[in-house]
Amino acid sequence: MNNPLLADWDTPFRIAPFQTFSDDDFAPALEVALGRHNSEIAAIAAQQDAVSFETVIGALERAGKDLEKVLSVFYTVSSADSTAAREALQREFAPKLAAHFSQITANKALFARIEALWTVRDTQDLTPEQQRVLMLTRRGFLRAGAALTGAQDVRMGEIKSRLAQLGTSFTQNLLADERDWFMPLGDGDLAGLPQFVIDAACAAGAEKGQPGPVVTLSRSLIVPFLEFSSRRDLRRKAFEAWSARGANGGATDNRAICAEILALRQERAALLGYESFAAYKLETEMAGTPEAVHQLLRDVWGPAKAQAEADAKVLTAMLKDDGINEPLAPWDWRYYAARRREAEHNLNEAELKPYFQLDKMIEASFACANRLFGLDFAPLDVALYHPDCRAWNVTRDGKHVAVFIGDYFARGSKRSGAWCSAMRAQAGYPQAQSPVVINVCNFAKATPALLSYDDARTLFHEFGHALHQMLSNVTYESVSGTSVARDFVELPSQLFEHWLTVPAILTEFAIHCETGAPMPAPLLEKLLGAAHFDMGFQTVEYLASAMVDLAFHEGAAPQDPMARQAEVLAQIGLPAAIAMRHATPQFAHVFSGDGYAAGYYSYMWSEVMDADAFAAFEDCGDVFDPALAASLERNILSRGGAEEPSELYVAFRGRMPGVEALLRGRGLGT
């Protein structure tokens, strides 16, 4: 078949030749790739010879490479540069792919081969990594329902197919709400806005085909608008639109979708013998049980809520000083917190922003990777899927390591948030395969492109994920890079954020966009001195989402998720002026797929480790200590999922951490 998606890509480092693909290529290529994968699976299952790792697990690792190629391209463009045609293909592909992979895990002959190998594994002279891959493969089949029979087996396939459809619909509804809403700003609507916000709003207006500035629902634009606009009526209008994503009624409303997803997940867990989806999901995570997650969240909730309530009193007094005799509202918090930070720390975003140029922050992330791990980054002149994208050849000691792609700017065709994915994962089997890794962000596009400090942290965070992919050094792709427990995957990303706080890095790369001067020492001191500012708010809005997520997946599925959300928030006493970071109808982490379902807590679980891990660098007196960096790479970044996460962490740090380092890091410790 002469389809460019299935051809051998004769490009630098076999990067996908995006310019040769059209949307019409995806469906035919998928059909061919599915057929080839089915043939490969059938051949593995039909073997009659004595089982061996090579003929069962090795063959599974080799299978499906054409399918991986097609889907790596499709998922990249459909999430970062969507079109109506691609959205239609997503709706078509989701149940088809769910059925395909469900048929594999339901293949009784194939599972019998895996079970036979498991039975004789002690006679196979397997390497530790092979033992791990075999265990994970068998466990994955069991958790997918491979041991089910009859009506239960059929029902599991139906559930998986329907969940795939619902997740796609949820994502597309959210994208539509974010894409379609904007608020034009007239001359009288710009009060309080610094020039960088106006510039970003003008760029957003141009992207929307409007003659002037607009506020969109992109976090990189709406958050600074909420921080600076002195127009309380406009802040309220923008905040309410932001909060209503996925809950506006009509065709894009996600509330019924959420209810059905939760019910199907609970049914899926019950079919597998678990009392709840949370129990099913957490069995393979570091946390292990819902009770362990509850304990962590409770340990942090108390100090965080107390700090947030104390801060709310200060902000309420500021509100009343402005002559507003109303309760502090969620659309007020960021505005008055920004004014308070300026008053108490003599620090404001408008003063900081010119020092955080996107290009310089990219350079900073590369410089940290070089000083820690010896990586070098050289620009690549290759055509990618959008003109905003950039690519680099990553080398060490002159040898190719990976390709890194960055797609940094918000646009209407891109789903919200920030993420890292591997278009091709590292592997050493059946031959050496270097990774192609992409970071996607949603920063406001303007000239010059300036970031907030939080934006810069996001850039470092996603690059930490990228390093986990790029430095992977395992044999089998199934345990490569970020193929780890969900509550361990955020450790490298959150740990890398800490290097943005290193004064030497900020002095070198936080360069004023107009004067070229480095950030003055007094401003740098104020920035780092305010590191804990408003941490009660940030922690509470995150924890509220994590607690609601966990509650959704414990026990019977709620018939009305919005009522259950309200019940949980009332039980924990969420301050009225703080909203969940992700309300249910827009909670893509949890409802676009089940990756973070019953797992949104994982950011905080990983933060316990990242705070403790960075303390190791601080304690040794050199945050770029080569021996410690080598240990981090050897014991964590290079190992992927080839060993248990707790074993990897202990190998690096010598012990598991407690919550104390996290509380200190957030300024919530006693």
Q: Give tens-digit pLDDT for 165-195.
A: 999 999 999 999 999 999 999 999 999 999 9
Q: Which residues contact 149 (CB under 8 A, 6 or more apart)?
A: none
25 belongs to a structural domain: yes
Rounded-to-integer distance, Cα 319 and Cα 177, Å: 31
492 belongs to a structural domain: yes
- The DSSP element (H or E) to which 191 belongs, if any, is none
Last residue of a domain, one of 245, 264, 299: 245
Number of neighbouring beta carbons within 10 Å of residue 491: 29
206 belongs to a structural domain: yes
Q: List the one residue out of 393, 399, 445, 408 whose CA is nearest residue 207.
A: 445
pLDDT at residue 294 greater than cutoff 60: yes
657 belongs to a structural domain: yes
435 belongs to a structural domain: yes
Rounded-to-integer distance, Cα 281 and Cα 286, Å: 11
Each residue's pLDDT tens digit, 504-520 = 999 999 999 999 999 99
Bridge partner residues of 216 (DSSP): 182
Q: Which two tokens stand for residue 69?
A: 């190629």
Cα-to-chain-centroid distance, residue 314:
33
Cis peptide preceding 4, ω within 30 of 0: no
Q: Which two tokens stand for residue 547?
A: 């607690």
23 with 89: CB under 8 angstroms? yes
**DSSP class per residue in 384-435:** -SSTT-EEEEEEETTEEEEEEEEEEE--TTS-SS-EEEEEE--B-SSS-B--
Q: How far is CA 365 from CA 368, 434, 458, in A?
A: 5, 21, 11
Rounded-to-integer distance, Cα 371 and Cα 504, Å: 12
Q: List the one residue out of 376, 462, 470 whose CA is nearest residue 423.
A: 470
Residues 45 and 187 in one domain: no
In sequence order, which ranges of 47-106 are alpha helices (DSSP H)?
Answer: 53, 59-62, 65-80, 84-105
Each residue's pLDDT tens digit, 474-483 = 999 999 999 9
Residues 35 and 85 in one domain: yes
Rounded-to-integer distance, Cα 221 and Cα 215, Å: 7
Each residue's pLDDT tens digit, 420-473 = 999 999 999 999 999 999 999 999 999 899 999 999 999 999 999 999 999 999
Residue 269, domain CATH: 1.10.1370.10
Q: How far is CA 501 from CA 305, 614, 653, 665, in A?
A: 25, 11, 21, 12
pLDDT for 1 equals: 67
Residues 286 and 425 in one domain: no
Amino acid at 599: G
pLDDT at residue 116 greater than cutoff 90: yes
Q: Which residues contact 206 (CB under 8 A, 6 or more apart)?
A: none
Residues 435 and 579 in one domain: no
Residues 450 and 483 in one domain: yes
pLDDT for 630 equals: 98
pLDDT for 670 equals: 55
Rounded-to-integer distance, Cα 472 and Cα 86, Å: 31
Q: Which two tokens stand for residue 569?
A: 């928030």
217 with 416: CB under 8 angstroms? yes
Rounded-to-integer distance, Cα 628 and Cα 633, Å: 9
381 belongs to a structural domain: yes
In sequence order, which ranges of 120-194 are alpha helices (DSSP H)?
Answer: 128-144, 150-180
Number of neighbouring beta carbons within 10 Å of residue 367: 18
CB-based burial label for 411 (10 Å; 0-12, 13-18, 19+): middle
Residue 423, domain CATH: 1.10.1370.40
Each residue's pLDDT tens digit, 557-586 = 999 999 999 999 999 999 999 999 999 999
276 with 554: CB under 8 angstroms? yes
Cis peptide preceding 95, ω within 30 of 0: no
Residue 660 bears catalytic tag: no
Residues 87 and 20 in one domain: yes
Amino acid at 421: S
Cα-to-chain-centroid distance, residue 344:
33
Give the structural domain span for 114. 12-147
- The DSSP element (H or E) to which 20 belongs, if any, is none
In sequence order, which ranges of 187-289 are alpha helices (DSSP H)?
Answer: 195-207, 219-228, 232-243, 255-271, 277-282
Classify strands 390-396 and 375-380 as parallel, antiparallel or unpaired: antiparallel
Rounded-to-integer distance, Cα 404 and Cα 468, Å: 12
pTM, rounded to two decimals: 0.95
- Residue keyed to tokens 């997650």: 293
Please give the backbone phi and psi of residue 548, each rounded to the nearest 5 degrees, phi first.
-65, -45
- The DSSP element (H or E) to which 215 belongs, if any, is strand 214-216
160 belongs to a structural domain: no
Q: Which residues contact 648 (CB under 8 A, 6 or more apart)?
A: 488, 635, 636, 639
pLDDT at residue 16 greater than cutoff 90: yes
Q: Which two tokens stand for residue 12?
A: 């630098």
Mean pLDDT of 264-290: 97
Residues 221 and 328 in one domain: no
157 belongs to a structural domain: no
What does pLDDT average to over the chain? 97
Contacts 24+ apart (CB under 8 A), 650-657: 652/613, 652/616, 653/612, 653/613, 653/616, 657/608, 657/609, 657/611, 657/612, 657/613
Mean pLDDT of 542-564: 97
Please give the backbone phi and psi of residue 375, each rounded to the nearest 5 degrees, phi first.
-85, 140
Q: Which two tokens stand for residue 211?
A: 């003659």
Say which of 129, 178, 349, 462 is annotated catalytic.
462
Q: Which two tokens stand for residue 638?
A: 């290079």
Residues 337 and 458 in one domain: no
Residues 432 and 519 in one domain: yes
Q: Which two tokens stand for residue 511?
A: 């360069």
Rounded-to-integer distance, Cα 302 and Cα 281, Å: 26
Q: What is the DSSP letter of 7?
A: S
Question: Looking at the 3D structure of the chain, how many domains does it have?
Answer: 4
Residues 503 and 424 in one domain: yes
Each residue's pLDDT tens digit, 366-423 = 999 999 999 999 999 999 999 999 999 999 999 999 999 999 999 999 999 999 999 9
Residues 434 and 521 in one domain: yes
Q: List the one residue out of 668, 669, 670, 661 whose CA is nearest residue 615.
A: 661
Q: Which two tokens stand for residue 604?
A: 């905080």
Q: List the one residue out of 170, 625, 55 whose CA is nearest residue 371.
A: 625
Residues 596 and 614 in one domain: no
